[in-house]
Amino acid sequence: MRLTSTTKYMLLSDKVVFLTGGTEGIGLECAKIYSAAGAKISIISNSTQSINDAQSKLYGDGILYLKADVSVAADIKQAIAETVAFFGRIDVIHNNAGISNPSKAVHDTTEEEWNALFDVNVKGVYNTTRFGIEELKKTRGNILNTGSLVGDIGQEIHAAYSATKGAISALTKSMALDYAPYGIRVNAVAPAGVWTPMLRVWSQQQPDAASIENYLDDIHALGYCPEGDVVADACLFLISEQARFITGCILPVTGGAELGYRRVINQTIQEKSDLI
């Protein structure tokens, strides 16, 4: 059951959230629910078009849009400074920006592709923490990272991407220990499949694109691949005071996909045995 608008408002009243990758997919759904929960939001994107599109979908006061690349230190240093100048504080840093290309094994991945994945998915967390941690110390705020289930279980022809998400999990736990003395919590969400623009592009790059929708439904034990709002609800919980004694947590938002992968494999084995 989704939270009511009244309940949502109480969760983030007067909080300031620095949200990277907040203009589409999971990030856009997070921006919607954070705003409904009473937060002021600084939304970071490296795309002017994406910012323009988000502005047509997000309503209400208290939203600042900043064009910046999370992989560029100077951009994030400036974005943190502009956020503080505009809102006066930062209570939450949500590291949601990420890329997934290419769909390749390690030996087929170019150095440029490898570096791009790590620069955005991992260095982005480094940059926001490096330039934002002093603000979080002032507010005893928290950090939320968007990871992925594949960082734990791996994924075929996605070695570099899986490696970045594994790094996110390790970073989350280490950062939770480092910043606990300051009252700063650090957590991550780990979705499986979620229908976002990035996933739709990814689905067309797969060897059997025609069957990918059924595959994505099947890997989730609950029987369907969700939209980004299910992840946003979990994110809202983790950055709110309701999760005030939770840190270092990698929260699966998977519909049981870690079980569903086995279900798909077992089904395939059964189909093969039927042919013997």
pLDDT at 275: 42
Tens digit of pLDDT for each residue in 101-147? 888 999 999 999 999 999 999 999 999 999 999 999 999 999 999 99
253-to-144, 188, 230, 241, 256 alpha-carbon distances in Å: 14, 10, 8, 19, 8
C-alpha Rg value of the chain to the nearest Å: 19
| In a domain? residue 49 | yes
* CATH code assigned at 64: 3.40.50.720
Tens digit of pLDDT for each residue in 195-205? 666 666 566 66
Task: Please count the CA atoms within 13 angstroms of the CA of 41 that sit on its side-chain side.
Answer: 32
Tens digit of pLDDT for each residue in 203-216? 666 556 566 777 77
What's the rounded Cα separation, in Å, for the pair 77 and 81?
6
| In a domain? residue 250 | yes
- Residue in the structure block whose two tokens are 């004694």: 245
Tens digit of pLDDT for each residue in 35-87? 999 999 999 999 999 999 999 999 878 999 999 999 999 999 999 999 999 99
179 in catalytic set: no
Concatenated DSSP letters of the chain: -PPPHHHHHHHSTT-EEEEET-SSHHHHHHHHHHHHTT-EEEEEES-HHHHHHHHTT--SS-EEEEE--TT-HHHHHHHHHHHHHHHS---EEEE----------GGG--HHHHHHHHHHHTHHHHHHHHHHHHHHHHHT-EEEEE--THHHH--TT-HHHHHHHHHHHHHHHHHHHHHGGGT-EEEEEEES--B-HHHHHHHHTSTTGGGHHHHHHHTSTTSSPPBTHHHHHHHHHHHSGGGTT--S-EEEESTTHHHHHHHHHHHHHHHHHHT-
Q: Which domain holds residue 54?
A: 5-197+227-256
Given a contact cutoff of 8 angstroms between Cβ atoms, the answer to whether 87 and 15 are in contact is no
pLDDT at 209: 57
| In a domain? residue 153 | yes
* pTM summary value: 0.87
pLDDT band at 91 (very low <50, low <70, confident <90, very high): very high
| In a domain? residue 273 | no
Tens digit of pLDDT for each residue in 155-172? 888 899 999 999 999 999
pLDDT > 70: what percent of the chain? Answer: 83
| In a domain? residue 37 | yes
| In a domain? residue 80 | yes
Domain count, the chain: 1
What's the rounded Cα separation, in Å, for the pair 33 and 28?
9
Does the N-terminal peptide bond of residue 197 adopt cis geometry, omega within 30 degrees of 0?
no
pLDDT at 227: 76
pLDDT at 273: 37
| In a domain? residue 276 | no
Checking 1-7 for CB contacts under 8 A at 24+ apart, the result is 2/233, 3/233, 3/236, 5/36
Indicate if the pLDDT at residue 193 is higher than 60: yes
| In a domain? residue 220 | no
Read off the pLDDT of each residue in 228-245 and give the average, rounded to a whole number. 95
Sign of the alpha-carbon torsion through 161, 162, 168, 174: negative
pLDDT at 276: 41
What's the rounded Cα separation, in Å, for the pair 182 and 172?
15
pLDDT band at 97 (very low <50, low <70, confident <90, very high): very high
Read off the pLDDT of each residue in 144-154 and give the average, rounded to a whole number. 94
Catalytic residue among 34, 59, 126, 161: 161
